[in-house]
């Protein structure tokens, strides 16, 4: 892997189900760990516009040509606004990955989707499309990828993780999005 690659970590802000929009924050980091930029956009809570919002944010960014991977904290933002990493990879030309601390409970997700969304099958298909791979040692995380091998993604995640298991661009995106909505960062980052 080339040294000093640039990655984009994206996380959503805290929201309530009465909220219409969720803030998405992107942190551009040059590895091993130098923050070069911050971006932001919004998506609908439980909507279907996450891909469009993220793609537009990336494509208008001055960093887009330098990004080697887009990492998203989880497969959905703003509730169940599901991110299709295959589509995002196609539209941006940048490899994409979802990263999560634990394995999702697909049965509970399907139950919630069935109860609230007429397009629940489409959302569930996207959620389950890519296998999740366990990466790391004792403090492992799970990741799915499009446009990048799991081995290369694991190297990028290792290089961008300072403490704990979460890559620093995702951790910082979480802190920023939380502070922008709540006035101070909250939650486990």
pLDDT confidence of residue 2: 57
Is the pLDDT reported for residue 42 higher than 60?
Answer: yes
* Residues 71-124 pLDDT 10s: 999 999 999 999 999 999 999 999 999 999 999 999 999 999 999 999 999 999
- As a whole number, the mean pLDDT across the chain is 93
- Give the pTM: 0.94
pLDDT (mean) for 56-73: 97
Q: DSSP secondary-structure letter at 13?
A: P
CA 177 from centroid of its chain's CA atoms? 13
Helices (H), the chain: 50-59, 85-92, 106-116, 120-128, 150-160, 168-182
Strands in 96-100's sheet, in edge-to-edge order, are 34-44, 21-30, 6-12, 67-73, 96-100, 141-146, 133-135
Other Cβ atoms less than 10 A from the Cβ of 133: the count is: 16
Rg (C-alpha) for the chain, rounded Å, is 15
pLDDT confidence of residue 45: 96
């Amino acid at each position: 892997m080339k040294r000093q690659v640039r990655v984009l970590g994206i996380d959503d802000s805290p929201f309530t189900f009465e909220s219409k929009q969720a803030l998405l924050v992107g942190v551009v980091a040059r590895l091993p760990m130098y923050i070069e930029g911050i971006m932001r956009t919004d998506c609908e809570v439980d909507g279907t516009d996450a891909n469009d919002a993220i793609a537009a944010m990336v494509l208008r960014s001055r960093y887009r040509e330098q990004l080697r991977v887009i990492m998203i904290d989880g497969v959905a933002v703003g509730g169940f606004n599901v991110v299709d990493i295959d589509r995002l990879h196609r539209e941006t030309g940048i490899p994409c990955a979802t990263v999560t601390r634990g394995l999702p409970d697909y049965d509970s997700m399907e139950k919630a989707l069935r109860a609230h969304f007429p397009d629940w099958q489409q959302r569930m298909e996207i959620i389950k499309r890519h296998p999740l791979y366990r990466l790391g040692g004792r403090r492992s995380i799970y990741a799915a990828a499009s446009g990048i091998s799991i081995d290369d993604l694991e190297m990028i995640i290792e290089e961008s993780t300072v403490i704990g298991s979460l890559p620093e661009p995702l951790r910082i995106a979480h802190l920023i999005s939380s502070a922008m909505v709540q006035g101070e960062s909250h939650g486990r980052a």
